[in-house]
Amino acid sequence: MNLLKKQIPITIAFLTGIFMWWQYYIPHHSIQNIYNIMISWELIIAGFALVVGIYSLLHHHANKIRRKTPQWGFSVVVYIAMFAMVINGFYSKQNGFGDPQNILMGGNFQWMFNYIQVPMQATMFSLLAFYIVSAAYRSFRARTKEATILLITAVIVMMGRVPLGEVIFGPKLPEFTEWILKTPSMAAQRGILLGVGLAIVATSLRIIFGIERTYMGGGAD
């Protein structure tokens, strides 16, 4: 079992990782052909990952319903919503079951998407505006020197990114805002990006050489 659970996945990860790394530096057509085949395989695997994701979601909520955990009714809503969208995506009176035309404009799927999912998700996101202003009122305080700098910068950027800011404070404000974004903010972002990039390289090497194994699932050896 150890062979199937450990050695083979680590070997596949090692060989695939090394190949995908080196192929970048070898423009020969034979290597590029293998690379293209691998990309096609991976696209198919990614499609199956979506199926696994859907199974995992349904399994999780089925457990909640079966055990009657607190607020299990919401899990029933997940099931109803999931199947209502899937069935209407596949089926319509005009084309029957499985025709790709079913999901185009005018179909039930598009209608449900436009008039149920879009307003619901937009509403959830819009609530952030209320929470952000309320949180700013309660906790955005100039307690320290650093907090004061952050506060002043935030107010300048907030006003500099809207037309009213320019009307009140003149054209220098948007220019100054653009300078903040292009210079100090960008310098900090670049530092973060470099850190992230190095971390990606380190994690990739750890996976390729079999040091990082969490992707194979948790649990004891």
Smallest distance from another protein to CB 83, Å = 17
Backbone φ and ψ for 220, nearest 5 degrees, come out as -75, 160
Of the pair 72, 113, the CB lying nearest another protein is at 113
Q: How far is the CB of 133 from another protein (least distance, A)?
A: 5
User: From the CB of residue 211, how many other CB atoms can be counted at a distance below 10 Å?
Assistant: 11
The CB-of-199 to another protein minimum distance in angstroms stands at 14
Our CB check for another protein shows the closer of 137 and 215 to be 137
Binding site for another protein (CB under 8 A): 36, 39-40, 42-43, 46-47, 49-50, 99-101, 103-105, 109-110, 113-114, 117-122, 124-126, 129-130, 132-134, 136-138, 140-142, 151, 154-155, 158-159, 161-168, 171, 174, 178, 181-182, 185-186, 189-190, 192-193
Output 166 or 212, the one with its CB closest to another protein.
Answer: 166
- For residue 19, what are its two tokens? 């190949």
Quick one: 47 or 217, whose CB is closer to another protein?
A: 47
Report the distance separating Cα 167 and Cα 163, nearest Å: 6
Q: 69 or 101: whose CB is closer to another protein?
A: 101
Neighbours of 97 (CB within 10 A): 9
Contact 203/8 with Cβ under 8 angstroms?
no
Please tell me the distance from the alpha carbon of residue 192 to that of residue 209, in angstroms, as a whole number. Answer: 26
Closest CA to 160 of 185, 191, 125: 185
CB of 129 to another protein, least distance (A): 6
Q: Nearest distance from residue 207's CB to another protein, in Å?
A: 15
CA proximity to 112, closest of 85, 92, 136, 90: 85
Distance between CA 14 and CA 33 in Å, rounded?
Answer: 20
